[in-house]
Structure 1
Amino acid sequence: MNGAHDMGGMHGMGPIDTDPDDPPFHAEWERRAFAVTLALGFHGRWNIDTSRHARENRPPPEYLGSSYYELWFKAAEKLALDTGLITAEELATGVPRSVSDTPPPDPERVAAILRKGSSARLPDTVPPRFKAGDRVLVRDVTTPRHTRVPRYCRGRIGTIGRDHGVHIFPDTHAHGEGTKPQHCYSVRFTGRALWGDAARENDTVLVDLWDDYLEPAP
Protein backbone atom coordinates (compact mmCIF):
# COMPACT_ATOMS: atom_id res chain seq x y z
CA MET A 1 0.00 0.00 0.00
CA ASN A 2 1.08 3.60 -0.52
CA GLY A 3 1.28 4.49 3.14
CA ALA A 4 3.45 6.67 5.35
CA HIS A 5 5.69 3.66 6.04
CA ASP A 6 7.05 3.69 2.47
CA MET A 7 9.56 6.50 3.02
CA GLY A 8 12.29 5.51 0.57
CA GLY A 9 13.35 8.47 -1.54
CA MET A 10 11.22 10.98 0.36
CA HIS A 11 12.70 14.33 1.43
CA GLY A 12 12.52 16.00 4.81
CA MET A 13 12.74 12.89 7.01
CA GLY A 14 16.21 13.69 8.31
CA PRO A 15 19.32 11.48 8.36
CA ILE A 16 19.14 7.75 9.12
CA ASP A 17 20.54 6.99 12.57
CA THR A 18 22.97 4.07 12.26
CA ASP A 19 24.50 4.16 15.76
CA PRO A 20 25.92 0.61 16.27
CA ASP A 21 25.75 1.05 20.05
CA ASP A 22 22.04 1.90 20.09
CA PRO A 23 20.28 -0.63 22.37
CA PRO A 24 17.41 -2.71 20.90
CA PHE A 25 15.03 -1.42 23.59
CA HIS A 26 14.92 2.00 25.24
CA ALA A 27 12.34 1.18 27.91
CA GLU A 28 10.96 -1.92 29.61
CA TRP A 29 7.56 -1.55 27.91
CA GLU A 30 9.25 -1.85 24.49
CA ARG A 31 10.76 -5.17 25.52
CA ARG A 32 7.34 -6.34 26.69
CA ALA A 33 5.63 -5.15 23.49
CA PHE A 34 8.12 -7.18 21.46
CA ALA A 35 7.63 -10.26 23.65
CA VAL A 36 3.83 -10.01 23.58
CA THR A 37 3.84 -9.68 19.77
CA LEU A 38 5.98 -12.80 19.39
CA ALA A 39 3.94 -14.76 21.93
CA LEU A 40 0.67 -13.90 20.18
CA GLY A 41 2.11 -14.74 16.78
CA PHE A 42 3.03 -18.27 17.90
CA HIS A 43 -0.69 -19.04 18.30
CA GLY A 44 -0.77 -19.25 14.50
CA ARG A 45 -3.76 -16.95 13.94
CA TRP A 46 -1.75 -14.79 11.51
CA ASN A 47 1.59 -14.75 9.70
CA ILE A 48 4.53 -12.36 9.46
CA ASP A 49 3.15 -10.61 6.37
CA THR A 50 -0.23 -10.08 8.05
CA SER A 51 1.53 -8.51 11.04
CA ARG A 52 3.61 -6.24 8.80
CA HIS A 53 0.47 -5.02 7.05
CA ALA A 54 -1.20 -4.39 10.43
CA ARG A 55 1.71 -2.13 11.42
CA GLU A 56 1.84 -0.31 8.08
CA ASN A 57 -1.91 0.09 7.57
CA ARG A 58 -2.27 3.21 9.74
CA PRO A 59 -3.34 6.77 8.92
CA PRO A 60 -0.19 8.84 8.21
CA PRO A 61 -0.55 11.11 11.30
CA GLU A 62 -0.83 8.05 13.54
CA TYR A 63 2.00 6.19 11.83
CA LEU A 64 4.41 9.13 11.87
CA GLY A 65 3.38 10.07 15.42
CA SER A 66 4.06 6.61 16.84
CA SER A 67 7.37 5.11 17.88
CA TYR A 68 8.56 1.80 16.44
CA TYR A 69 7.29 -0.37 19.29
CA GLU A 70 4.09 1.64 19.64
CA LEU A 71 3.28 0.48 16.11
CA TRP A 72 4.11 -3.09 17.06
CA PHE A 73 1.82 -2.94 20.09
CA LYS A 74 -1.06 -1.31 18.21
CA ALA A 75 -0.81 -3.97 15.50
CA ALA A 76 -0.77 -6.76 18.10
CA GLU A 77 -3.93 -5.35 19.72
CA LYS A 78 -5.72 -5.17 16.36
CA LEU A 79 -4.72 -8.66 15.29
CA ALA A 80 -5.67 -10.18 18.65
CA LEU A 81 -9.09 -8.52 18.44
CA ASP A 82 -9.69 -9.33 14.77
CA THR A 83 -8.84 -13.01 15.23
CA GLY A 84 -10.77 -13.47 18.48
CA LEU A 85 -7.80 -14.10 20.76
CA ILE A 86 -9.17 -11.38 23.04
CA THR A 87 -12.38 -9.35 23.28
CA ALA A 88 -12.75 -5.58 23.34
CA GLU A 89 -13.92 -5.83 26.95
CA GLU A 90 -10.86 -7.82 27.96
CA LEU A 91 -8.62 -5.27 26.26
CA ALA A 92 -10.38 -2.34 27.95
CA THR A 93 -10.42 -3.84 31.45
CA GLY A 94 -7.32 -6.02 31.43
CA VAL A 95 -9.44 -8.78 32.97
CA PRO A 96 -9.85 -12.07 31.06
CA ARG A 97 -13.49 -13.12 30.71
CA SER A 98 -12.94 -16.39 28.92
CA VAL A 99 -10.36 -19.13 28.53
CA SER A 100 -8.93 -19.57 25.04
CA ASP A 101 -9.20 -23.03 23.53
CA THR A 102 -5.93 -22.42 21.73
CA PRO A 103 -3.10 -24.31 23.44
CA PRO A 104 -0.15 -22.17 24.48
CA PRO A 105 2.95 -22.41 22.26
CA ASP A 106 5.67 -24.85 23.34
CA PRO A 107 8.33 -22.72 25.12
CA GLU A 108 11.16 -24.95 23.93
CA ARG A 109 10.04 -24.69 20.29
CA VAL A 110 9.71 -20.92 20.60
CA ALA A 111 13.18 -20.59 22.10
CA ALA A 112 14.71 -22.81 19.39
CA ILE A 113 13.13 -20.77 16.58
CA LEU A 114 14.24 -17.49 18.12
CA ARG A 115 17.80 -18.77 18.51
CA LYS A 116 18.05 -20.19 15.00
CA GLY A 117 15.69 -17.97 13.03
CA SER A 118 13.58 -19.28 10.21
CA SER A 119 14.18 -19.16 6.48
CA ALA A 120 11.41 -18.04 4.18
CA ARG A 121 12.96 -20.02 1.31
CA LEU A 122 10.72 -22.81 0.02
CA PRO A 123 11.73 -26.15 -1.51
CA ASP A 124 9.29 -25.73 -4.40
CA THR A 125 10.59 -26.30 -7.91
CA VAL A 126 8.91 -23.23 -9.39
CA PRO A 127 10.84 -22.16 -12.50
CA PRO A 128 12.39 -18.67 -12.44
CA ARG A 129 11.20 -16.09 -14.91
CA PHE A 130 14.56 -14.29 -14.92
CA LYS A 131 18.26 -14.98 -14.48
CA ALA A 132 21.28 -12.94 -13.39
CA GLY A 133 22.06 -10.21 -15.91
CA ASP A 134 18.50 -9.84 -17.23
CA ARG A 135 17.17 -6.30 -17.48
CA VAL A 136 13.76 -5.97 -15.85
CA LEU A 137 11.07 -3.33 -15.53
CA VAL A 138 9.35 -3.00 -12.16
CA ARG A 139 5.59 -2.94 -12.55
CA ASP A 140 3.76 0.11 -11.24
CA VAL A 141 2.01 -1.68 -8.38
CA THR A 142 -0.53 0.64 -6.75
CA THR A 143 -2.73 -1.13 -4.22
CA PRO A 144 -4.31 -0.53 -0.80
CA ARG A 145 -3.16 -4.04 0.14
CA HIS A 146 0.18 -5.25 1.45
CA THR A 147 3.11 -5.18 -0.96
CA ARG A 148 6.88 -5.25 -0.65
CA VAL A 149 7.71 -3.29 -3.80
CA PRO A 150 8.84 0.23 -2.79
CA ARG A 151 7.35 3.21 -4.57
CA TYR A 152 10.73 4.61 -5.55
CA CYS A 153 11.56 1.70 -7.88
CA ARG A 154 8.15 1.25 -9.53
CA GLY A 155 8.33 1.88 -13.25
CA ARG A 156 12.14 1.81 -13.16
CA ILE A 157 14.53 -0.50 -15.00
CA GLY A 158 17.10 -2.57 -13.14
CA THR A 159 19.27 -5.66 -13.61
CA ILE A 160 18.88 -9.04 -11.92
CA GLY A 161 21.92 -9.49 -9.70
CA ARG A 162 21.03 -12.69 -7.87
CA ASP A 163 18.23 -15.24 -7.61
CA HIS A 164 17.36 -15.89 -3.94
CA GLY A 165 15.28 -18.95 -4.80
CA VAL A 166 11.59 -19.62 -4.21
CA HIS A 167 9.85 -17.71 -1.42
CA ILE A 168 6.36 -16.99 -0.15
CA PHE A 169 4.73 -14.10 -2.02
CA PRO A 170 3.92 -11.53 0.71
CA ASP A 171 1.15 -9.76 -1.21
CA THR A 172 -1.15 -12.78 -1.07
CA HIS A 173 0.19 -14.28 2.16
CA ALA A 174 -0.67 -11.15 4.15
CA HIS A 175 -4.34 -11.49 3.23
CA GLY A 176 -4.84 -15.22 3.72
CA GLU A 177 -4.81 -15.95 -0.02
CA GLY A 178 -2.07 -18.55 -0.06
CA THR A 179 1.69 -18.55 -0.34
CA LYS A 180 1.86 -18.29 -4.18
CA PRO A 181 5.50 -19.52 -4.25
CA GLN A 182 7.77 -17.70 -6.70
CA HIS A 183 11.34 -16.54 -7.11
CA CYS A 184 12.68 -13.49 -5.32
CA TYR A 185 15.63 -11.63 -6.84
CA SER A 186 18.15 -9.04 -5.81
CA VAL A 187 17.64 -6.34 -8.45
CA ARG A 188 20.36 -3.72 -8.96
CA PHE A 189 19.37 -0.16 -9.89
CA THR A 190 21.70 2.70 -10.66
CA GLY A 191 21.14 5.76 -8.52
CA ARG A 192 20.37 7.77 -11.63
CA ALA A 193 17.75 5.26 -12.81
CA LEU A 194 15.93 5.92 -9.52
CA TRP A 195 16.66 9.57 -8.74
CA GLY A 196 17.73 11.12 -12.04
CA ASP A 197 20.86 13.07 -12.84
CA ALA A 198 21.02 14.51 -9.32
CA ALA A 199 22.23 11.12 -8.03
CA ARG A 200 25.92 10.35 -7.88
CA GLU A 201 27.16 8.53 -10.96
CA ASN A 202 28.42 5.37 -9.24
CA ASP A 203 25.60 4.90 -6.70
CA THR A 204 23.63 1.64 -6.86
CA VAL A 205 20.68 0.31 -4.88
CA LEU A 206 19.80 -3.39 -4.41
CA VAL A 207 16.12 -4.24 -3.89
CA ASP A 208 14.66 -7.71 -3.27
CA LEU A 209 11.73 -8.15 -5.65
CA TRP A 210 9.44 -11.08 -6.47
CA ASP A 211 8.53 -12.42 -9.94
CA ASP A 212 5.06 -10.84 -9.88
CA TYR A 213 6.60 -7.39 -9.52
CA LEU A 214 8.71 -7.68 -12.66
CA GLU A 215 8.50 -7.92 -16.41
CA PRO A 216 11.19 -7.97 -19.12
CA ALA A 217 12.58 -4.51 -19.82
CA PRO A 218 11.76 -3.16 -23.28
Structure 2
Amino acid sequence: MNGAHDLGGMQGFGPVGAEPDEPVFHAEWERRAFALTLAAGALGKWNIDQSRYARERQPPAEYLATSYYEHWLYGLEKLLVEKGLVTAEELATGKAAARSDLSPVGITQMSEIIRRGGAHRIASDLPARFSAGQKVAVRNRHPLGHTRAPRYVRGRQGVIDRDHGVFVFADSSGSDQGPKPQHCYVVRFAAPELWGPEANPRDVVLVDLWDDHLDPA
Protein backbone atom coordinates (compact mmCIF):
# COMPACT_ATOMS: atom_id res chain seq x y z
CA MET A 1 0.00 0.00 0.00
CA ASN A 2 1.34 3.45 -0.87
CA GLY A 3 0.35 5.62 2.04
CA ALA A 4 1.59 8.34 4.34
CA HIS A 5 3.06 5.64 6.61
CA ASP A 6 5.65 4.61 3.97
CA LEU A 7 8.22 7.37 4.58
CA GLY A 8 11.43 5.37 4.04
CA GLY A 9 13.88 7.37 1.92
CA MET A 10 11.66 10.45 1.84
CA GLN A 11 13.19 13.92 2.10
CA GLY A 12 11.97 17.09 3.78
CA PHE A 13 10.70 15.76 7.11
CA GLY A 14 13.68 17.02 9.11
CA PRO A 15 16.13 15.08 11.27
CA VAL A 16 15.10 12.18 13.46
CA GLY A 17 16.24 13.29 16.88
CA ALA A 18 17.02 10.78 19.60
CA GLU A 19 15.54 11.63 23.00
CA PRO A 20 18.02 10.94 25.84
CA ASP A 21 16.61 8.58 28.47
CA GLU A 22 13.35 8.40 26.55
CA PRO A 23 10.56 6.74 28.58
CA VAL A 24 8.62 3.82 27.16
CA PHE A 25 5.44 5.92 27.34
CA HIS A 26 5.24 9.71 27.39
CA ALA A 27 1.75 9.78 28.88
CA GLU A 28 -0.57 7.45 30.76
CA TRP A 29 -3.03 7.28 27.83
CA GLU A 30 -0.25 5.82 25.64
CA ARG A 31 0.24 3.00 28.14
CA ARG A 32 -3.50 2.33 28.07
CA ALA A 33 -3.67 2.39 24.26
CA PHE A 34 -0.85 -0.14 24.12
CA ALA A 35 -2.48 -2.39 26.75
CA LEU A 36 -5.91 -2.21 25.10
CA THR A 37 -4.42 -3.15 21.72
CA LEU A 38 -2.70 -6.21 23.19
CA ALA A 39 -5.77 -7.23 25.18
CA ALA A 40 -8.11 -6.90 22.20
CA GLY A 41 -5.64 -8.73 19.95
CA ALA A 42 -5.61 -11.61 22.45
CA LEU A 43 -9.24 -12.30 21.50
CA GLY A 44 -7.90 -13.75 18.24
CA LYS A 45 -10.12 -11.75 15.90
CA TRP A 46 -7.14 -10.38 13.93
CA ASN A 47 -3.39 -10.84 13.55
CA ILE A 48 -0.42 -8.47 13.82
CA ASP A 49 -0.33 -7.84 10.06
CA GLN A 50 -4.00 -6.84 10.03
CA SER A 51 -3.28 -4.56 12.99
CA ARG A 52 -0.53 -2.81 11.01
CA TYR A 53 -2.77 -2.50 7.97
CA ALA A 54 -5.52 -0.90 10.07
CA ARG A 55 -3.11 1.87 11.15
CA GLU A 56 -1.96 2.35 7.56
CA ARG A 57 -5.55 3.17 6.53
CA GLN A 58 -5.64 6.31 8.65
CA PRO A 59 -6.26 9.34 6.36
CA PRO A 60 -2.86 10.70 5.23
CA ALA A 61 -3.22 14.23 6.63
CA GLU A 62 -4.42 12.82 9.95
CA TYR A 63 -1.62 10.24 10.01
CA LEU A 64 1.11 12.84 9.54
CA ALA A 65 -0.41 15.14 12.18
CA THR A 66 -0.75 12.52 14.93
CA SER A 67 1.64 10.62 17.16
CA TYR A 68 2.70 6.97 17.24
CA TYR A 69 0.18 5.78 19.81
CA GLU A 70 -2.56 7.85 18.23
CA HIS A 71 -1.96 5.64 15.16
CA TRP A 72 -2.32 2.59 17.39
CA LEU A 73 -5.57 3.93 18.82
CA TYR A 74 -6.96 4.64 15.35
CA GLY A 75 -6.12 1.12 14.18
CA LEU A 76 -7.61 -0.46 17.30
CA GLU A 77 -10.90 1.42 16.96
CA LYS A 78 -11.13 0.48 13.27
CA LEU A 79 -10.58 -3.21 13.98
CA LEU A 80 -12.99 -3.27 16.92
CA VAL A 81 -15.77 -1.97 14.68
CA GLU A 82 -14.86 -4.06 11.61
CA LYS A 83 -14.73 -7.28 13.64
CA GLY A 84 -18.03 -6.53 15.39
CA LEU A 85 -16.58 -6.21 18.89
CA VAL A 86 -18.02 -2.72 19.38
CA THR A 87 -20.21 -0.42 17.32
CA ALA A 88 -19.39 3.02 16.00
CA GLU A 89 -22.13 4.36 18.30
CA GLU A 90 -20.50 2.75 21.35
CA LEU A 91 -17.18 4.40 20.47
CA ALA A 92 -18.84 7.78 19.90
CA THR A 93 -20.82 7.73 23.14
CA GLY A 94 -18.36 5.85 25.35
CA LYS A 95 -21.24 3.66 26.53
CA ALA A 96 -21.22 -0.10 26.00
CA ALA A 97 -24.37 -1.85 24.84
CA ALA A 98 -25.42 -5.08 26.52
CA ARG A 99 -23.48 -7.93 24.89
CA SER A 100 -23.65 -11.68 25.46
CA ASP A 101 -21.65 -12.96 22.48
CA LEU A 102 -18.11 -12.22 23.69
CA SER A 103 -15.92 -14.33 25.94
CA PRO A 104 -13.61 -12.17 28.08
CA VAL A 105 -9.86 -12.81 28.11
CA GLY A 106 -8.47 -13.17 31.63
CA ILE A 107 -5.21 -11.54 32.74
CA THR A 108 -3.47 -14.92 33.02
CA GLN A 109 -4.59 -15.95 29.54
CA MET A 110 -3.54 -12.64 28.02
CA SER A 111 -0.14 -12.75 29.74
CA GLU A 112 0.48 -16.21 28.29
CA ILE A 113 -0.49 -15.07 24.78
CA ILE A 114 1.84 -12.07 25.03
CA ARG A 115 4.67 -14.20 26.42
CA ARG A 116 4.28 -16.83 23.70
CA GLY A 117 3.82 -14.38 20.84
CA GLY A 118 2.40 -15.14 17.42
CA ALA A 119 3.43 -18.17 15.38
CA HIS A 120 4.65 -16.58 12.15
CA ARG A 121 7.51 -19.00 11.43
CA ILE A 122 6.22 -22.17 9.77
CA ALA A 123 7.86 -25.59 9.90
CA SER A 124 7.90 -26.53 6.21
CA ASP A 125 10.13 -28.13 3.59
CA LEU A 126 8.86 -25.63 1.00
CA PRO A 127 11.78 -25.06 -1.41
CA ALA A 128 13.37 -21.61 -1.51
CA ARG A 129 13.24 -19.68 -4.78
CA PHE A 130 16.51 -17.93 -4.02
CA SER A 131 19.82 -18.64 -2.29
CA ALA A 132 22.51 -16.58 -0.56
CA GLY A 133 24.57 -14.54 -3.00
CA GLN A 134 21.91 -14.55 -5.73
CA LYS A 135 21.04 -11.24 -7.41
CA VAL A 136 17.37 -10.32 -7.25
CA ALA A 137 15.10 -7.49 -8.34
CA VAL A 138 12.21 -6.25 -6.23
CA ARG A 139 8.93 -6.28 -8.09
CA ASN A 140 7.65 -2.78 -8.80
CA ARG A 141 4.17 -3.42 -7.45
CA HIS A 142 1.88 -0.93 -5.76
CA PRO A 143 -0.91 -3.02 -4.18
CA LEU A 144 -4.00 -1.45 -2.70
CA GLY A 145 -3.71 -3.67 0.38
CA HIS A 146 -0.98 -4.25 2.94
CA THR A 147 2.62 -4.82 1.81
CA ARG A 148 5.92 -5.18 3.66
CA ALA A 149 7.93 -4.17 0.58
CA PRO A 150 8.88 -0.51 1.20
CA ARG A 151 8.42 1.83 -1.72
CA TYR A 152 12.08 2.86 -1.87
CA VAL A 153 13.28 -0.66 -2.81
CA ARG A 154 10.64 -1.46 -5.44
CA GLY A 155 12.21 -1.82 -8.87
CA ARG A 156 15.72 -1.95 -7.33
CA GLN A 157 18.28 -4.74 -7.45
CA GLY A 158 19.96 -6.37 -4.49
CA VAL A 159 21.63 -9.58 -3.34
CA ILE A 160 20.24 -12.32 -1.09
CA ASP A 161 22.20 -12.08 2.15
CA ARG A 162 20.51 -15.00 3.94
CA ASP A 163 17.31 -17.01 4.14
CA HIS A 164 15.26 -16.70 7.35
CA GLY A 165 13.16 -19.77 6.48
CA VAL A 166 9.43 -20.12 5.84
CA PHE A 167 7.07 -17.56 7.34
CA VAL A 168 3.52 -16.30 7.00
CA PHE A 169 3.43 -13.89 4.05
CA ALA A 170 2.65 -10.58 5.71
CA ASP A 171 1.07 -9.02 2.60
CA SER A 172 -1.51 -11.79 2.33
CA SER A 173 -2.02 -12.10 6.08
CA GLY A 174 -2.48 -8.34 6.54
CA SER A 175 -5.21 -8.21 3.90
CA ASP A 176 -7.06 -11.16 5.50
CA GLN A 177 -6.26 -13.46 2.57
CA GLY A 178 -4.64 -16.29 4.51
CA PRO A 179 -1.05 -17.09 5.54
CA LYS A 180 0.35 -18.05 2.06
CA PRO A 181 3.61 -19.46 3.56
CA GLN A 182 6.87 -18.69 1.75
CA HIS A 183 10.52 -17.96 2.37
CA CYS A 184 11.58 -14.62 3.84
CA TYR A 185 15.07 -13.34 3.00
CA VAL A 186 17.44 -10.62 4.07
CA VAL A 187 18.19 -8.69 0.87
CA ARG A 188 21.26 -6.45 0.76
CA PHE A 189 21.11 -3.25 -1.29
CA ALA A 190 24.10 -1.05 -2.11
CA ALA A 191 23.34 2.54 -1.11
CA PRO A 192 23.93 3.97 -4.63
CA GLU A 193 21.31 1.52 -6.00
CA LEU A 194 18.74 3.13 -3.71
CA TRP A 195 19.89 6.74 -3.35
CA GLY A 196 21.89 7.40 -6.53
CA PRO A 197 25.59 7.91 -7.34
CA GLU A 198 26.14 10.45 -4.54
CA ALA A 199 25.52 7.80 -1.89
CA ASN A 200 28.52 6.22 -0.18
CA PRO A 201 29.29 2.96 -2.07
CA ARG A 202 30.46 1.36 1.17
CA ASP A 203 27.01 1.71 2.77
CA VAL A 204 24.36 -0.99 2.46
CA VAL A 205 20.71 -1.35 3.48
CA LEU A 206 19.28 -4.72 4.61
CA VAL A 207 15.57 -5.36 4.06
CA ASP A 208 13.46 -8.44 4.86
CA LEU A 209 11.50 -9.48 1.76
CA TRP A 210 9.44 -12.53 0.81
CA ASP A 211 9.44 -14.75 -2.30
CA ASP A 212 6.48 -12.91 -3.81
CA HIS A 213 8.34 -9.60 -3.61
CA LEU A 214 11.27 -10.79 -5.72
CA ASP A 215 12.36 -11.91 -9.18
CA PRO A 216 15.78 -13.13 -10.35
CA ALA A 217 17.89 -10.20 -11.60
TM-score (norm 1): 0.95
Output aligned runs, 1:1-218, within 5 Å. Answer: 1-19=1-19, 21-217=21-217
- Tell me the distance in 1 between the aligned counterparts of 2:116 and 2:136: 34
- 1:146 Cα deviation after fit: 0.4
- Tell me the distance in 1 between the aligned counterparts of 2:116 and 2:78: 28
Instruction: Tell whether the 8 Å contact from 2:134 to 2:160 is kept in structure 1 after alignment.
Output: yes
- Return 92-101 or 166-175, whichever deviates more: 92-101
Q: How many residues align?
A: 217
Paired letter, 1:54: A
- 1:75 Cα deviation after fit: 0.9
- Tell me the distance in 2 between the aligned counterparts of 1:68 and 1:85: 23
TM-score (norm 2): 0.95
Instruction: Tell whether the 8 Å contact from 1:85 to 1:100 is kept in structure 2 after alignment.
Output: no
- 1:19 Cα deviation after fit: 3.8
Instruction: Tell whether the 8 Å contact from 2:42 to 2:113 is kept in structure 1 after alignment.
Output: no
- Tell me the distance in 2 between the aligned counterparts of 1:95 and 1:59: 26
| Cα deviation 1:146-189 (Å, max 9, x = unaligned) | 00001111111100001000010111111221100000000000
Instruction: Structure 2 unaligned segments of length 5 or more: list them.
Output: none
Secondary structure (helix, strand or coil) at the match of 1:91 reads helix
Instruction: Tell whether the 8 Å contact from 1:43 to 1:102 is kept in structure 2 after alignment.
Output: no
Q: CA RMSD in A?
A: 1.4
Instruction: Structure 1 unaligned segments of length 5 or more: list them.
Output: none
| Cα deviation 1:70-117 (Å, max 9, x = unaligned) | 010011111101111011221122221122422122422321343454
Instruction: Tell whether the 8 Å contact from 1:132 to 1:163 is kept in structure 2 after alignment.
Output: yes
- Return 120-129 or 134-143, whichever deviates more: 120-129
Instruction: Tell whether the 8 Å contact from 2:136 to 2:157 is kept in structure 1 after alignment.
Output: yes
Identity rate, percent: 56
Paired letter, 2:59: P
- Tell me the distance in 2 between the aligned counterparts of 1:113 and 1:99: 24
From the superposition, tell whether residues 126 and 20 of structure 1 become closer, same or farther in structure 2 (CA, over 3 Å): farther
Secondary structure (helix, strand or coil) at the match of 1:5 reads coil
Secondary structure (helix, strand or coil) at the match of 1:206 reads strand
